[in-house]
Structure 1
Amino acid sequence: MATAFDTPLDQAALDQLFVEARTFNHYTDRPVSEADLRAIWDLTKMGPTSANQLPARFVWCTSPEAKERLALCASDSNADKIRAAPVSLVIGMDTEFHEYLPQLFPHADAKSWFDGNRELREASAFRNSSLQGGYFILAARALGFGTGPMSGFDAGAVDKAFFADQPSVRTNFIATLGHGDTAKLHDRSPRPAFETFNRIV
């Protein structure tokens, strides 16, 4: 008997998430509400991370003041995108994520795996917060939004601007969010065939 776990999504869903989905640099004037942000997070948090670490820490910049703070940490072209987007956000990573593991992973003493091993925590925080950033993109697309993930920023400046009160948190990457303006899309960049970057061994 088929279940939700072994039935493929239909083509329309695959198109929305992957095939026809795009990275947006421009957005329409349609607003993005706090309820929308919470809905995106409620999907994002369900994506798998190692031992349910959930090390990502999101800062959703919705006010002009917050977006300006972030824009001042970015390259000129990215700064314009940050200011113009309905929402801009910082995806950070908490290197002290293990303090939450007794609640998030209660069936094992997972906290002890990371106690006293900062190098392991940093590697795990980066890897798993990157995964969560990917889940954020897919969650936003699934709910009808567009995103514009980007590099091109001063991570130390972003940390100072948004995580000064959380010294264990550092910036992974930044992004914009809104209802994408499809009229301003450029041609899609190419994607390689399977054989280009893959091997079956």
Structure 2
Amino acid sequence: MTTLQAVPDAALDQLFRNARTVHAFKPVPVTDQTLRALYDLVKWGPTAFNAQPARFVFVRSAEAKERLRPALSAGNTAQTLAAAVTVIVAHDTRFYEHLPHQFPAYDAKPIFEGNADAAQATAFRNGSLQGAYLVLAARALGLDAGPQSGFNADLVDKSFFPDGRWRTNFLVNLGVADPSGTFPRGPRLPFDEVAQIL
């Protein structure tokens, strides 16, 4: 009988049980090396046809943050400007152009090349998955994360992706948490309310 090999409780605490959505950050920088290590974890997460449609823009400089500022909601501006890095999690609308290389098992490119609805649904769904992997990978590396959807995606696209190929999904602030800005943890729904075993 196969025995499951769970990671240690300390890792589960860091990734899930003790991790929080962060709303305030200490002025601690995040290096290029850390951002590259972050992506090197994210890239291994599964996606349909190994398509990897997510695209990540690491907004770190003061100039880039100012480009982002007009798109932010009032309630998210201070935390985003304070974060060491804000990641624009986007997706490539023409991700399927890479499929012959990334998914050589058979020619999957035609499934999406002539079907805009299928391409959009696949890019958005799998790009969202990759954004979730990014949050967990950041936590695994010791960073704190604050994902957010309180912003104007059209303004982000106009500023950062004017050719229209990449489209913004959501933002993730990364850095070291300032505990003074941490909200009390909200309750979670119980298993029997949200799940079934059939």
When normalised by structure 1's length, the TM-score is: 0.94
Cα deviation per residue 1:51-109 (whole Å; 9 max; x = unaligned)? 11100111100101111111210111212211111111210011100001111111211
Which letter does structure 2 place at the counterpart of 1:73? A
User: d(CA) in 1 for partners of 2:86 and 2:148?
Assistant: 11
Unaligned runs of 5+ in 1: none
Which letter does structure 2 place at the counterpart of 1:97? F
Counterpart in 2 of 1:196? Answer: 193
1:169 aligns with 2:175: no
1:184 aligns with 2:177: no
User: d(CA) in 2 for partners of 1:125 and 1:141?
Assistant: 24
User: d(CA) in 1 for partners of 2:56 and 2:8?
Assistant: 31
CA contact (8 A) 1:72 1:79 kept: no
User: d(CA) in 1 for partners of 2:121 and 2:51?
Assistant: 12
- How far the C-alpha of 1:2 sits from its partner, in A, is 7.3
- How far the C-alpha of 1:29 sits from its partner, in A, is 2.1
Counterpart in 1 of 2:91? Answer: 93
1:57 aligns with 2:55: yes
Q: Secondary structure at the match of 1:122?
A: helix
Unaligned runs of 5+ in 2: none
Counterpart in 2 of 1:16? Answer: 14
Cα deviation per residue 1:34-64 (whole Å; 9 max; x = unaligned)? 1110011000111000011100111100101
CA contact (8 A) 2:53 2:91 kept: yes
- How far the C-alpha of 1:171 sits from its partner, in A, is 0.6
Which residue, 82, 102, 105 being the options, matches 1:104? 102
- How far the C-alpha of 1:178 sits from its partner, in A, is 0.4
1:125-144 alignment, distance < 5 Å = 125-144=123-142
Cα deviation per residue 1:5-46 (whole Å; 9 max; x = unaligned)? x41011000000001111101112221001110011000111
When normalised by structure 2's length, the TM-score is: 0.96
CA contact (8 A) 2:26 2:82 kept: no
Q: Secondary structure at the match of 2:148?
A: coil
User: d(CA) in 1 for partners of 2:133 and 2:124?
Assistant: 14
User: d(CA) in 1 for partners of 2:178 and 2:79?
Assistant: 13
Greater shift after overlay, 41-50 or 175-184?
Answer: 175-184
Where in structure 1 do 4 or more consecutive aligned residues deviate above 4 Å? none
Alignment identity in percent? 48
- How far the C-alpha of 1:182 sits from its partner, in A, is 2.7
Q: Secondary structure at the match of 1:148?
A: strand
User: d(CA) in 1 for partners of 2:196 and 2:2?
Assistant: 31
- How far the C-alpha of 1:136 sits from its partner, in A, is 0.1
Q: Secondary structure at the match of 2:26?
A: coil
Counterpart in 2 of 1:39? Answer: 37
Number of equivalences? 198
User: d(CA) in 1 for partners of 2:29 and 2:72?
Assistant: 24
CA RMSD of aligned residues (A): 1.4
